[in-house]
Structure 1
């Protein structure tokens, strides 16, 4: 039983589980499990057809709406995190892209596949303890291999967690603006609009997370909780939540987010929580 996404001891409860996967998505998950093991090798062992090759895969995880049980047929994407025994190589990335395409082409239930590749050492590092470590421990659902959450702490909705998860918004603004200027197709503009809107809603939520004292990944709930603390900015955040679900190719939809909401949010975040520890 959870309250505001928290376990009885006040720590953030893991939000997904395999038994929450909607039945229509179950074949997608089984295919992903098989293809990951075939492509990257079974966790802890070499590829069966290449016995001399060192093992690549430590563990694999689901995240997003499918393991939360809120996925929409033909709309939601499949999100996967692979923990490797080594830092990802170009070969690993090429294999992941091929796996993404194979799953996306095979299943009309999903609209796209995204695979994150990260080394086990990075996920367990002190630097990533309150960012990628939190992501694996609380937002990811184990699919294959040993669960890295066993080697990570229990997390609470603190200002440290807020700072290390979303305290780098100011660094993203120049990149987003450059991508907006270069976006030449409706597809590119929709992709950017969705990414920007999602990040702003999640950042808005974590800005107020310690005061609200809880956790949610639901975008509508996140916008509402933010708006309760910043009513003057509530309409903009509701718009961002709408665009995160149904992105628009119209620059007039994205521009207010990039030029008004995002700069304000970055400055307010730095004032309230500070900025994220710099990464290499």
Structure 2
């Protein structure tokens, strides 16, 4: 992998690997593997993946994310089982603060609609933990405008939901949770806005904000605030207001003008 996150052929390299997991997080991953295998087994589970800083080897105490691919469409029972795994791992390990499990079906991730969104996520941003690797059935990805559009071209649709959540937030915990979500998503959208020009991929929030700022210096400070909120969430309503009501609408309009809008999902 070169400094732009690319393999020798110019395609985006997979970010993580099991051998990059640092010692404090090995028990967390082992527990996740055991819980998933015991709960879903081979009948329901096609494959499981790690996502985020843990498989990249850059983790500090924080949130751990898992992606489970099922043979069939996720059911209410599947989601309830996933929630129990989340709670069990979160309660057992102090080195993480929350576990997020995404459930998807093999059919959806291999579909044309998800090829440059969910498929890309599994093939390049997730590290195999259990079962066959879906990346073997997906293309090699390049930092194109198509990839930008299908990963983050729906910010304009998300902003109204964020505004509603911000208006309903009554505690600092509510605002911190939303701040983390909004900050991370805003930085990723800002990065992918300029990704084809830069010609590479990164999931690092600081680097993403810095690369965005090179192309849009007038918004660079706001994007640095977004990256800070994504790492260390702020309960300050003014931070959320800036991200949702100022930077967000500008970014959504710029994104649509450059890359177009993401194809609607059912």
Which residue pairs with 2:174 in the alignment?
Answer: 188
Q: In structure 2, how many angstroms separate the alpha carbons of the residues matched to 1:76 and 1:19?
A: 20
**Larger deviation, residues 157-166 vs 243-252:** 243-252
Q: Structure 1 residue 71 and structure 2 residue 50: aligned?
A: no
Which residue pairs with 1:150 in the alignment?
Answer: 136
TM-fit CA distance, 1:278:
1.1
Which residue pairs with 2:71 in the alignment?
Answer: 85
Alignment of 1:46-61 (within 5 A): 55-61=43-49
Q: In structure 1, how many angstroms separate the alpha carbons of the residues matched to 2:29 and 2:202?
A: 23
Which residue pairs with 1:164 in the alignment?
Answer: 150
Q: In structure 2, how many angstroms separate the alpha carbons of the residues matched to 1:179 and 1:188?
A: 9
Q: Structure 1 residue 141 and structure 2 residue 127: aligned?
A: yes
| Secondary structure in 2 matching 1:93 | helix
Per-residue deviation, residues 130-186 of structure 1 (Å, max 9, x unmatched): 000000000000000000000000000000000000000000011000011111221
State the number of aligned residues. 266
Q: Structure 1 residue 178 and structure 2 residue 173: aligned?
A: no
Q: In structure 2, how many angstroms separate the alpha carbons of the residues matched to 1:236 and 1:230?
A: 10
| Secondary structure in 1 matching 2:253 | helix
Equivalent of 2:104 in 101, 118, 121: 118
TM-fit CA distance, 1:2:
2.1
**Larger deviation, residues 258-267 vs 75-84:** 75-84
Per-residue deviation, residues 28-63 of structure 1 (Å, max 9, x unmatched): 10111011000111xxx3xxxxxxxxx110000001
Equivalent of 2:184 in 173, 191, 198: 198
Q: TM-score, normalised by structure 2?
A: 0.99
TM-fit CA distance, 1:3:
3.1
Which residue pairs with 2:260 in the alignment?
Answer: 274
Which residue pairs with 1:99 in the alignment?
Answer: 85
Larger radius of gyration: 1
How big is the alpha-carbon RMSD for the aligned residues of Structure 1 and Structure 2? Answer: 0.7
TM-fit CA distance, 1:21:
0.5
Q: Which runs of 4+ in 1 moved over 3 A?
A: none
TM-fit CA distance, 1:116:
0.3
Equivalent of 1:246 in 232, 236, 246: 232
Q: TM-score, normalised by structure 1?
A: 0.94
Which residue pairs with 1:29 in the alignment?
Answer: 29
List gaps (5 residues or longer) in structure 2.
none
Q: In structure 1, how many angstroms separate the alpha carbons of the residues matched to 2:207 and 2:2?
A: 16
Q: In structure 2, how many angstroms separate the alpha carbons of the residues matched to 1:92 and 1:68?
A: 27
| Secondary structure in 1 matching 2:164 | helix
Higher helix share: 2
Q: Structure 1 residue 40 and structure 2 residue 40: aligned?
A: yes
CA contact (8 A) 1:25 1:109 kept: yes
